[in-house]
Amino acid sequence: MTQHKKTIVTLISLSGLLVTTVILFEIMSQPSLSQLERIKKSGVLTVLTRSAPTTYYEGTNGPAGFEYDLASLFAKHIGVSATFKTPATFSQVLSDIQMGKADIAAAGITITEQRKKHLTFTPPYHEITEQIIYRTGTQRPEKTQDLSKGILEVVKGTSHADTLKKLKQIHPKLQWYTNDTLDTDGLLFLINQKLIDFTIADSNQITLIRRFYPQLHVAFDISPPRQLAWALQSSPDQSLYRASVKFFESIKQNKILEQLIDRHFGYAEKLNYATNCTFRQHIKSRLPYYQKIFESAAFEQGLDWRLIAAIGYQESHWRKNAISPTGVRGIMMLTRSTAKQLGFENRIKPENSIRGGALYFKQRLKRIPVSVPDPDRTWMALAAYNIGYGHLNDARILTKNQGDNPDKWLDVKKHLPLLSQKKWYQKTKYGYARGHEPVLYVEKVRNYYDLLTWLTEDNSIERQAMKTQTESSPQLDNEIAIINPAI
């Protein structure tokens, strides 16, 4: 190679080195992205949660649950979409977020002093108490000492185990088992099956699960009120935490948080033990005669048959010859004029009544303004089925005039009872109505609908609980050494 060529190659090499150096300098001189910026750049918020009625589950129309709705709203708030991961155990949720394997853990996590040493918590969004649960037919424990009279089992790594550890300092004979496979819902199933005697559940959990296991009862509170919050990895980077603070301030101020809590938990206490048991008996003895009709009628209207069946049960307890003091008749309790308007002459015939009821409900649903989102839209349509669309609209107008949101069922149901007070109904177009009745009506239908959905779908909680119970045994905890001190 000539000297001239060598010079050219050297210059080219030096030029390449210079360009590389400049690029590296520019990269190094640029400030690193914050966690929030990285999430926005990726377009995805990764959320750890757990499969349970109070958090996240696969509903009739896809993913659902309180934590699912809340985290999805937060993702929308910061301009991204949310993706959910469900580790096998609650302990894994906590350890994964501590290791930074996700952005947030939204899993009904209780704030404790021990956890605050290793995790960052968002502002709290709900308050619960820890409660001792037992089953009908067994002796109710009155105090902590009574727990030694049966098998007490809790989930590994939860605040429930921490509570027992503190109580053991006062009651040295206290013993319990920890289960590192099942969650609290699984342990509640084991109590229902009489495989264990006691467990600890958060008050919001037992409120929902008791509808499915009506023989479970609360013995006593075993903790003071505790706050639930999302957990984040502890880090000097506070960008995501600050975003969560703004988010929770916003949804508390505009009452969205209150509406979410009411949507998921507010109606669940309305179904008492006797009504629950009677409903289950009627599912076995009466529903089989009409289920195919409910399925067909709902399919015609693009609805869930279990919702139509729930309406039918609230109306008549699935009795084809039911009649009310006001003259409405049949399974779906249609008036003569309504049935005729819908095209059904014989409103007593079960097929006509159910098809007519499904069509009538669909008509109510279509009349609800498009500004009303689901599921509020469905709840308002149920209220209209019960009280009439005119009275419902009067209540929505009263709601708006009082400064509340007429598109939110939480607000509308507060104003419906005003329709029975002269001070208010004289200002409305359609006048007097027993406005408290549609509020109770909607809550009862929602409970029947949830129970039908639970009882007619594959129950993964029960399946997993039974599988685990036959494959392994929980470990007896005397000193709770099993609990990971890092969590």
The CA distance from 230 to 325, in Å, is: 51
Nearest to 60 by CA among 315, 415, 304: 304
CA-to-CA distance for 444 and 450, rounded, in angstroms?
Answer: 10
**N- to C-terminal Cα separation, the chain:** 68
Separation CA 82–CA 88 (nearest Å): 20
315 flagged as catalytic? yes
List C-alpha distances in Å: 21 to 7, 26, 33.
21, 9, 22
Residue among 249, 315, 443, 457 flagged as catalytic: 315
CA 272 to chain CA centroid, Å, is 20
Indicate if the alpha-carbon torsion angle 290, 296, 301, 302 is positive or negative: positive
Contact of 383 with 450, CB cutoff 8 Å: no
Interior angle at CA 69, CA 414 and CA 269, nearest 5: 45
What span, in angstroms and rounded, lies between the C-alpha atoms of 185 and 198? 13
DSSP 8-class letter at 474 = P
Q: Cis peptide before 438, with omega less than 30 degrees from 0? A: no
Between CA 365 and CA 367 the distance in angstroms is 5
Q: Please give the full DSSP string across 156-181, using - where no structure is assigned.
A: TTSHHHHHHHHHHHH-TT--EEEESS
Q: What does each C-alpha distance from 145 to 149, 221, 225, 278 come to in angstroms?
A: 8, 14, 21, 35
Contacts of 159 (CB under 8 A, 6+ apart): 110, 112, 115, 130, 223, 226
Q: Each residue of 465-474: b (16+ CB within 10 Å) or e?
A: beebbeeeeb
Just list the catalytic residues. 315
